[in-house]
Amino acid sequence: MIQKQKRFETAVIHEGYDSKEMLGSLSTPIFQTSTYSFETAELGERRFAGEESGYIYSRLGNPTVRVLEERVASLEKGEAGLAFASGMAAVSAVLIALTKANDHIICSSGLYGCTFGLLTMMREKYNIMTDFSEMKSKEELRSLIRPETTVIYVETPINPTMRLIDLKQVAEVAKEYGIPVVVDNTFSSPYLQQPLELGCDIVLHSATKYIGGHGDVIAGLVVGKKSFIDMVSQTTQKDIGGVISPFDAWLLLRGLKTLPVRLDRHCDNAQKIVEQLKMHRKIANVYYPEDEENRDFSIMKKQMKRGGGIISFEVKGDKSQAQLLLNQLGFIKIAVSLGDAETLIEHPATMTHASIPYEVRQQMGITDQLIRLSVGLEAWEDIWADLEQALEQL
């Protein structure tokens, strides 16, 4: 039977797995094995030489992990995917694969604190310099490109300021110079934003977040052209070794099945909380991509299906007021992940982004009053009731 391309909601459940090949097992089996036996020495030789396909050792490939990689590649509309032990293992494998000493990176002005830490380390060890840019116009981006620029790295929405970057515009400039664009798509997931369709080259995720969705796994994913994925799998993944375990890959496969259903609810809840926050007298600013008054609303309309489940906002007052708000909460948890069923709240300036120097943080818009809220799947009325009673105590 000729199969049509599956819709997203179908692909999250079926893509990359055929139960017929696995004794009819509906759930993807967990191949909890470190190595694979060869029937003969010659077969082993051929596998190592790449003359015959087949598994060798689980750092180089595993059947459970393979299903996940094929599924996520299809969801991001890419040729191939690769799974990692964490989002940072994915980010570092990609950035190290694309650079050598003395190269230059252009990066969105705002990004996850540990990615900033990695860029700092690459500067100190290998003299790989990074320029941060808001990427507002093609001219701004072109003016930063140097002969040694080998990567444009973009986070959008940016963690934690929720600023957006126009991915199509960035991809068009990058094409003029043949520079690959890498997008951290963690905040949107492929359900809300598909950077490869907009002309970008590589997309990566902290799969710890929406893709896993249940706060029980640390993992990373990368999708791109097959030639690039093969190169990473044979270099920075194989030789640095940040591979995912088969069980964690299975947890992600399970999480993915409900990604669209969960995200619809995260978005609905976030919209309601944004409406309430904007009306509250103790709140100075609310940042949410799908808010019509938001500074980047027009970019959101171009490239995101919906606004997602993360809101950031500034309370009136200083750091102590922000911390007081967190301390007054009931069931909402103070925690630094996002995309889980539970609503999570954190203070970026002293937590996820504390390693970024104060001045740089200010330039990025990470003020001491800024709070990041990952809106969970609970009833929105309960989430708001908890926030409201905490706000009343400021």
Residues that bind ligand PLP (CB under 6 A): 86-88, 91, 112, 114, 155, 159, 184, 186, 206, 208, 218, 220
Nearer to ligand PLP, 287 or 384 (CB): 287
* Number of residue whose CB is nearest ligand PLP: 87
**CA 180 distance to own-chain centroid:** 18
**CA 258 distance to own-chain centroid:** 17
Nearer to ligand PLP, 63 or 213 (CB): 213
Please, what is the minimum distance in Å from the beta carbon of residue 68 to ligand PLP? Answer: 15
Please, what is the minimum distance in Å from the beta carbon of residue 10 to ligand PLP? Answer: 27
List the structure tokens of 49.
Answer: 């030489």
Nearer to ligand PLP, 17 or 191 (CB): 191
Residue 59: active-site member: yes
Three-class secondary structure of residue 391 per DSSP: helix
CB of 203 closer than 8 Å to CB of 75:
no
Helix (H), strand (E) counts: the chain: 16, 12
Residues 6+ apart with CB under 8 A from 79: 73, 224, 225, 226, 229
- Quick one: the chain helix, strand, coil %, rounded to 5? 45, 15, 40
Catalytic residue of the set 47, 66, 71, 209: 209
Residue 368: active-site member: no
CA distance 369 to 284: 9
Q: Which of 128, 87, 93, 83 is nearest to 111 (CA)?
A: 87
Nearer to ligand PLP, 108 or 169 (CB): 108
Residue 184: active-site member: yes
Q: Which letter, b or e, does each residue of 356-374 get, where b requires 16 or more Cβ atoms within 10 Å of its Cβ? A: beeeebeebbbbbbbbbbb
Catalytic residue of the set 166, 184, 368, 386: 184
Please, what is the minimum distance in Å from the beta carbon of residue 274 to ligand PLP? Answer: 20
Q: Which of 346, 326, 349 is nearest to 336 (CA)?
A: 346
**CA 135 distance to own-chain centroid:** 19
Please, what is the minimum distance in Å from the beta carbon of residue 336 to ligand PLP? Answer: 7
Please, what is the minimum distance in Å from the beta carbon of residue 76 to ligand PLP? Answer: 15
Nearer to ligand PLP, 78 or 308 (CB): 308
Please, what is the minimum distance in Å from the beta carbon of residue 304 to ligand PLP? Answer: 15
Please, what is the minimum distance in Å from the beta carbon of residue 43 to ligand PLP? Answer: 37
List the structure tokens of 97.
Answer: 């694969």
CA distance 363 to 360: 5
**Cis peptide leading into residue 160 (ω within 30°):** yes
> Contacts by 294-302 with C-beta closer than 8 Å and gap 24+?
294/162, 295/163, 296/162, 296/163, 296/164, 299/164, 299/165, 299/166, 300/164, 302/166, 302/168
Residue 301: active-site member: no
Catalytic residue of the set 17, 47, 112, 265: 112
Provide the annotated active-site residues: 59, 112, 184, 209
